């Protein structure tokens, strides 16, 4: 089964989760990552996406892995762990004070699945909205955004909102996602910026 394949591949490759392959496949499709970039990974635990991102940005880049849950320290020296809830009101200012504007924000955040699809979908969209808000506060012009979504009634409204901030907004379901899952990923390309973000970038 595909699920067993990716799980086995993750273990043999030293990745912490099979989700690592989802980010690899997203990047293969859209060519987002570059050496030397600064990337924020929201809801990073257990750290599979952070591992992939760290390899893609190289030793001259930086990945900031954020989660309220404990994250086991990485062997990769270019990953910084921040143990905070992504809903923390001070998170944006804390990150900007330490790292300035960033090249990309990625989020594989997901709710604890209740089995009530409407509820789970709504919570997932709320998490994606939080990720998008942080992206608009921290991204450089032309930066990128990736977030997990669940397909459902609120998806189009979210996409309409995203397209106000990015020149291009795409939906993509990587091969590593289970076919039966409602999971899909949104990719925002070429961040347009806001007055506040443009002012921040000029100060850099």
Token readout for 50 is 């952070």
Catalytic residue, from 22, 62, 140, 148: name it. Answer: 148
Count Cβ atoms within 10 A of the Cβ of residue 66 and give its class: 0-12 exposed, 13-18 middle, 19 or more buried.
Answer: buried
Angle between helices 117-138 and 155-162 (to 10 degrees): 10
180 is catalytic: no
C-alpha torsion sign, points 138, 144, 149, 155: positive
CA-to-CA distance for 79 and 63, rounded, in angstroms? Answer: 5
Cα separation values, 100 from 143, 197, 202, Å: 13, 10, 11
CA-to-CA distance for 62 and 38, rounded, in angstroms? Answer: 5
Longest CA–CA span in the chain (Å) reads 51
Cα separation values, 96 from 10, 60, 133, Å: 33, 19, 14
Q: How many CA atoms lie within 13 A of 97 on its CB side?
A: 5
Token readout for 111 is 């709710």
Catalytic residues: 148
């Amino acid at each position: 089964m595909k699920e067993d394949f990716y799980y086995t591949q993750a273990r043999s490759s030293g990745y912490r989760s099979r989700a690592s392959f989802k980010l690899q496949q997203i990047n293969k499709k859209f060519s987002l990552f570059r050496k030397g970039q600064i990337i924020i990974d929201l809801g990073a635990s257990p750290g599979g996406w952070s591992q992939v991102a760290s390899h893609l940005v190289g030793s001259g880049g930086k990945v900031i892995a954020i989660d309220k849950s404990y994250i086991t320290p990485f062997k990769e020296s270019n990953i910084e762990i921040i143990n905070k809830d992504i809903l923390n009101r001070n998170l944006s200012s804390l990150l900007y004070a330490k790292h300035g504007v960033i090249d990309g924000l990625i989020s594989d955040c997901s709710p604890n699945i209740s089995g009530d699809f409407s509820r789970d979908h709504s919570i997932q969209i709320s998490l994606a909205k939080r990720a998008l808000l942080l992206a608009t506060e921290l991204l450089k012009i032309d930066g990128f955004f990736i977030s997990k979504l669940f397909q459902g009634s609120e998806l189009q409204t979210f996409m309409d909102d995203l397209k106000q901030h990015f020149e291009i907004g795409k939906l993509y379901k990587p091969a590593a996602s289970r076919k039966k899952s409602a999971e899909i990923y949104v990719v925002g390309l070429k961040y347009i910026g806001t007055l506040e973000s443009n002012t921040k970038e000029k100060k850099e």
